[in-house]
Structure 1
Amino acid sequence: MVYIPFFSDTSVPFEPSKDIPSLAGKVILVTGGNTGLGKQSILELARYGKPAKIYLAARNQEKAKGAIEDVKNHAPDAPIVPLDLDLTSFESIKKAARTFANQEERLDVLMLNAGIMAVPNATTKEGYEIQFGTNHVGHALLTKLLMPTLLKTARRPEKPDVRVVVLTSAGLGLASPGEGIKFDTVKTDGSALYTWTRYGQSKLANALFARELAKRYPEVKAVAVHPGAVDTQLFFPFAESFGIFNFAATALVRPFLKTVEMGARNQVWATVSKQVESGEWYTPVGIKGTVKVRGTDLARDDNLAKKLWEWTEKELEGQEI
């Protein structure tokens, strides 16, 4: 089987209207829920699963409110709560976690959906390379701060199915061959690496984080999922810099992209399907990601997963709600 990053699509049947079970009583938090895959996932889960509450975490609260209005046009009774969250700022992350913890006694699903791709060299407020800091470090801190609530939920008498769903990408194959994550670059502006290499190592970190999370916290089912190549704002953040080539590039690629509705099925599947195995990463829809990407198997490297976890824990030491 030939596996082409982004465009390969081997699927299993999944229809949200039929296959999302009742989520009655459950509380869900989705990062980056104001647009694209996050917004669509919230719609599907609210419309068909009818959970007790869904927190829509986003940096832009005006857009978050607009997204909630859009969702309610399709699911008028959707119990959505906006949550202010900037993944590039530890203070914002801690404030969001504190707000959630003060309002809720349980958390059944934490969907780490937000992400950036192919952006110019920059750093987060704490000095992490912007893609690695946003896609991995910010989400890792949020998960760390919400873990007590996740564990408390998992230990309830009814034994709820508690999950952390992490969006990775087949783009993890763009990380440095062999090494995977160049730890000496992740607390710089990343100028020593190509943009796509930086993106690749951030997405590799997502897959490895889910894998190690599953080992460290067996009470919680952790899974990483590649949504496929989806026609969202994320896919062309860099197109404007190509001027006249923007139109040609868009015209060439867009016919191969999935709609947001189709792309969101992958993470919704990972949220509710009984087929999901904790610690694995999956390609669309629900096919276990066992195919090696670019001749490597870094996403299943347990030593690298452990190294990343220990590095991350050291970086987040002392961070509390």
Structure 2
Amino acid sequence: MGGFLGFAWNQWTFKPKPLAKDRSLEGTTVLITGGNVGLGLEAAKEIVSHRPNTLILAVRDVEKGQVAKDAIAKESTPPDVNLEVWELDYDSYDSITAFGSRVQALPRLDYVLLNAGLKQMQYTTAKLGHETNLQINHLGTSLVSLQVLPALIKTAKATSKPSRLTIVSSEGHFWIPFKERTAPNILARMDEKDAFGRQMSRYYTTKLLNVLWARELASKVEKRDVVVNAVNPGFCYSGLHRHEKTGIIKLFLWAFGWTTQQGGYCLVDALVQHGDSHGAYLSEQKVVPPSKFVLSEEGKIAQKKIWKETFEIFRKEAPKANISELESNV
């Protein structure tokens, strides 16, 4: 894992598979962020085929979410599956907080797939002022993970079995130098334009943050309550690549890419299978070691530092998010 030859071999030789047809999700509530396009949409379609009670698509654009809901419904959605579209903008702490309040009102929440993200190839700032990849892929994802956690824990205690929280990462977390790790404040350094790097390096760095966040969150949450993991969906055809202008990605997709549907299979497999895992990194539909940096002492130090810095940002910038209360859950 981690090198180009390993990447190419896995993409050529492994073909992701859907869940077994008899795997039932009856009675459960599943929530997918970014479930209106790409891998998230394919994951949603796969989930629906296993008949949960409720599937919630959490999306930035509700109109586009409704289009996705209609598309799913047309593909023979069982009549007993309740499909809902909820608004959620990772670039608005007010939106995330309102979403969190809505989640807490759910009678149950069994599975959450945090799939929403982007790959911005040039330096830009989000509405909240942070570098865009950092805001959406790390800060937004992390705050949403904290918002859904109480509902997942409540459901686990009511059902006497663990709920599941899966964060979408990338094999690209193996491939970046992560020079920001030596800065006095890692996240502040990542906001600076001269630290952005070239092409996909910033995207991959935020995917490394996803792995570190998932591992630290898992270390603070009991496995009997919520199984927390990170997943690499593989290199797939997806709208994620829309900002890449050189044509290199198209060439690599032609040579190595999995279909969007196959990527969706990987996400669903990570979300509902592998119940004996916790704080794990999944790739090719199995638990594998993350990068050497993640497992190193330096990586463990960076993991705790990023956790602390992230909470400092939330306390300062998201006062309505009840950070102290959320922190008490971990």
Give the alignment's TM-score, normalised by structure 2: 0.84
* Alignment of structure 1 residues 140-155 onto 2, 5 Å: 140-155=142-157
Paired position in structure 2 for 1:170? 171
- What residue ranges of structure 1 are gaps of 5+ in the alignment? none
Is the contact made by 2:94 and 2:320 (CA closer than 8 Å) also made in structure 1? no
Paired position in structure 2 for 1:235? 241
- In the TM superposition, what whole-angstrom CA distance separates every residue of 1:188-238 from its partner, at most 9, and x where no partner exists? 4x3432142321221001011111111111121001011110011112422
- In the TM superposition, what whole-angstrom CA distance separates every residue of 1:38-82 from its partner, at most 9, and x where no partner exists? 1111110111x2111111011122211111111112233342100
| Residue 215 to residue 229, structure 1, CA distance change in 2 (3 Å) | same
Tell me the secondary structure at the aligned position of residue 277 of structure 1.
coil
* Alignment of structure 1 residues 24-103 onto 2, 5 Å: 24-47=26-49, 49-77=50-78, 78-102=81-105
Tell me the secondary structure at the aligned position of residue 28 of structure 1.
strand
- In the TM superposition, what whole-angstrom CA distance separates every residue of 1:123-164 from its partner, at most 9, and x where no partner exists? 2222221101101100111121222111111211x3133111
Paired position in structure 1 for 2:328? none
CA distance in 2 between counterparts of 1:267 and 1:252 reads: 21
CA distance in 2 between counterparts of 1:253 and 1:16 reads: 21
Q: Which moved further from structure 2: 140-149 or 30-39?
A: 140-149
Is the contact made by 1:21 and 1:272 (CA closer than 8 Å) also made in structure 2? no
- In the TM superposition, what whole-angstrom CA distance separates every residue of 1:83-128 from its partner, at most 9, and x where no partner exists? 11111111111122223333x1221111110111133322222222
Structure with the higher helix share, 1 or 2: 2
Does residue 201 of structure 1 match 2:216? no
Tell me the secondary structure at the aligned position of residue 20 of structure 2.
helix
CA distance in 1 between counterparts of 2:288 and 2:22 reads: 20
Aligned amino acid, residue 20 of structure 2 = K
Is the contact made by 2:111 and 2:272 (CA closer than 8 Å) also made in structure 1? no
Cα deviation for residue 36 of structure 1 reads 0.7
Superposed CA RMSD in Å reads 2.5
Cα deviation for residue 14 of structure 1 reads 6.3
* Alignment of structure 1 residues 111-150 onto 2, 5 Å: 111-150=113-152
Tell me the secondary structure at the aligned position of residue 123 of structure 1.
coil
| Residue 132 to residue 106, structure 1, CA distance change in 2 (3 Å) | same
How many equivalent residue pairs?
A: 307
Paired position in structure 2 for 1:161? 162
Tell me the secondary structure at the aligned position of residue 184 of structure 1.
helix
Paired position in structure 1 for 2:325? none
Is the contact made by 1:224 and 1:282 (CA closer than 8 Å) also made in structure 2? yes
Q: Which moved further from structure 2: 220-229 or 16-25?
A: 16-25
Give the alignment's TM-score, normalised by structure 1: 0.86
Paired position in structure 1 for 2:260? 260
Paired position in structure 1 for 2:309? 311
Aligned amino acid, residue 311 of structure 2 = E
Does residue 250 of structure 1 match 2:250? yes
CA distance in 2 between counterparts of 1:252 and 1:176 reads: 22
Aligned amino acid, residue 201 of structure 1 = T
Tell me the secondary structure at the aligned position of residue 250 of structure 1.
helix
CA distance in 2 between counterparts of 1:249 and 1:198 reads: 16
- What residue ranges of structure 2 are gaps of 5+ in the alignment? 323-330
Cα deviation for residue 283 of structure 1 reads 1.6
In the alignment, which of 204, 225, 228 is matched to residue 222 of structure 1?
A: 228
CA distance in 1 between counterparts of 2:44 and 2:118 reads: 19
Does residue 107 of structure 1 match 2:113? no
| Residue 214 to residue 115, structure 1, CA distance change in 2 (3 Å) | same
Q: Which moved further from structure 2: 85-94 or 3-12?
A: 3-12
CA distance in 1 between counterparts of 2:271 and 2:195 reads: 37
| Residue 145 to residue 260, structure 1, CA distance change in 2 (3 Å) | same
Aligned amino acid, residue 69 of structure 1 = D
Is the contact made by 1:88 and 1:125 (CA closer than 8 Å) also made in structure 2? yes
Aligned amino acid, residue 143 of structure 1 = S
CA distance in 1 between counterparts of 2:195 and 2:278 reads: 35
| Residue 7 to residue 308, structure 1, CA distance change in 2 (3 Å) | farther
CA distance in 2 between counterparts of 1:150 and 1:264 reads: 22
Tell me the secondary structure at the aligned position of residue 109 of structure 2.
coil
Paired position in structure 1 for 2:294? 298
Paired position in structure 1 for 2:326? none
Does residue 18 of structure 1 match 2:20? yes
Is the contact made by 1:174 and 1:199 (CA closer than 8 Å) also made in structure 2? no
Cα deviation for residue 259 of structure 1 reads 0.2
CA distance in 1 between counterparts of 2:181 and 2:175 reads: 9
- In the TM superposition, what whole-angstrom CA distance separates every residue of 1:211-268 from its partner, at most 9, and x where no partner exists? 11111111210010111100111124222xx4xxx3x752454231100111111111
* Alignment of structure 1 residues 265-276 onto 2, 5 Å: 265-274=265-274
CA distance in 2 between counterparts of 1:116 and 1:279 reads: 23
